[in-house]
Chains A and B, each alone.
Chain A
Amino acid sequence: MHEPWLDDDVTARPADPGADLRTIRALMERARSYRHLPPAAAFTAGALAVAGAGATDAILARAPIAQSLGRLGLVWGAVLVAAAAGWVLLAWRSVRREGAPFVTPLAIEILHALWPPLVGALALTAALSRAGAAELVPAVWMLGYGAGAVAAGGFARRAVRWLGVAFVLAGLAHLALAPAPAVALGATFGGFHLVFGLVLAVRPAREA
């Protein structure tokens, strides 16, 4: 079979094995890395969490944590849903700008990395609340979210994995030091996401 491509462009190209291997490695890494992480989504999540921490502070000023579980659950459930919706919307816009499909095997792998630790954190929240150990719930969510981010980081830029590591360390510190929940939640879910957004904004080229 005659292939004009073979005649024209291949025989003329000398072998540069070093350059070819570098290209192959870079492309394989890029193909395995989810690229649609808009900084605005991280800023939105961080701002929502800071607002959630403010609401937590106000709620806990009126009643102890054991009697505020319903209200705190509503606040942080709303923060989680709004932040997730923001991520989906902004990532969808980023994907559509490139004309690429939104749901890809890579995106599904990220979801599969994220959901088990989050469902685990939800189950532990219910169990700890029933057992009268609600003060441990913020640490559980830091550890669960951190574990999910570390796992998802295998399919995205390195900063995602570092975000996860930061959350896991914060969760461990929270277990050891037991700081005020509002401060801890604001500093981690708020502060960490704002810093993460900054990293995404400042170093976008490394993502691609």
Chain B
Amino acid sequence: MPRDLSGARGADSGAGAVKPDELDRVIHEPVRLSIAAVLAARREVDYLELRSLLALTDGNLAAHAGVLERHGYVAAEKGFAGKRPRTTYRLTPAGRRAFARHVERLRVLLGEGERDRR
């Protein structure tokens, strides 16, 4: 079972406290959000599997994973599987916190949107 998103409460979340422009800009981008979601569900994911899961090109994946890595959200580990080079990605603790906070903010925004419509 995937982690329950309802349990992902950020430290600074709170109903009525979130505006759309306060979303984490690093994670909010769709490709990076997808990468973070996959990594949040698994301990680590191989580069090729991540590319296949998200149907990304090499350049797209490398660029966006690189942004997440530079911001300390993702750690990349390079090694070998037999003679073939292999890169695996995982979310760092900071990345997990940022993802949980982002999900919580989305949930708060969604709740506010639904309240506005009522």
Q: Is the CB of A106 within 8 A of B109?
A: no
Given contacts A21-B103, A28-B38, A100-B48, contact A14 B20 (CB under 8 A): yes
B102 to chain A, nearest CB (A): 9
B113 at the A interface (CB under 8 A) = yes
B78 at the A interface (CB under 8 A) = no
Total interface residues on B, using CB and 8 Å? 41
Contact of B28 among A10, A25, A32 (CB under 8 A): A10
Residues of B contacting A6 in the complex (Cβ-Cβ under 8 angstroms): 25-26, 29, 67
Interface of B: prevailing SS: helix
Q: Is the CB of A28 within 8 A of B3?
A: yes
Residues of A contacting B3 in the complex (Cβ-Cβ under 8 angstroms): 28
B62 at the A interface (CB under 8 A) = no
Q: Is the CB of B107 within 8 A of A100?
A: no
A99 at the B interface (CB under 8 A) = yes
Residue interface mask A11-34, B partner, CB < 8 A = 1: 101110110110111011111100
B8 to chain A, nearest CB (A): 10
Q: Is the CB of A99 within 8 A of B52?
A: yes
Q: Is the CB of A31 within 8 A of B25?
A: no
Residues of B contacting A32 in the complex (Cβ-Cβ under 8 angstroms): 1-2, 41-42
Give Cα A101 to B105, complex, Å. Answer: 35
Q: Is the CB of B37 within 8 A of A28?
A: yes
Q: Is the CB of A17 within 8 A of B107?
A: yes
A74 at the B interface (CB under 8 A) = no
B64 at the A interface (CB under 8 A) = yes
Q: Is the CB of B25 within 8 A of A11?
A: yes
Given contacts A21-B103, A98-B52, contact A27 B37 (CB under 8 A): yes
Q: Is the CB of A5 within 8 A of B64?
A: yes
Residues of A contacting B43 in the complex (Cβ-Cβ under 8 angstroms): 105
Q: A101-B86, A104-B46 are in contact. List 5 more A-B contacts (CB 8 A).
A: A17-B113, A18-B113, A32-B2, A100-B48, A105-B42
- Listed in ascending order, the chain A residues whose CB lies under 8 Å from chain B are 1, 3, 5-6, 9-11, 13-15, 17-18, 20-21, 23-25, 27-32, 98-101, 103-106, 154
Q: Which 3 A-B pairs have the closest CB atoms?
A: A15-B20, A28-B2, A28-B41
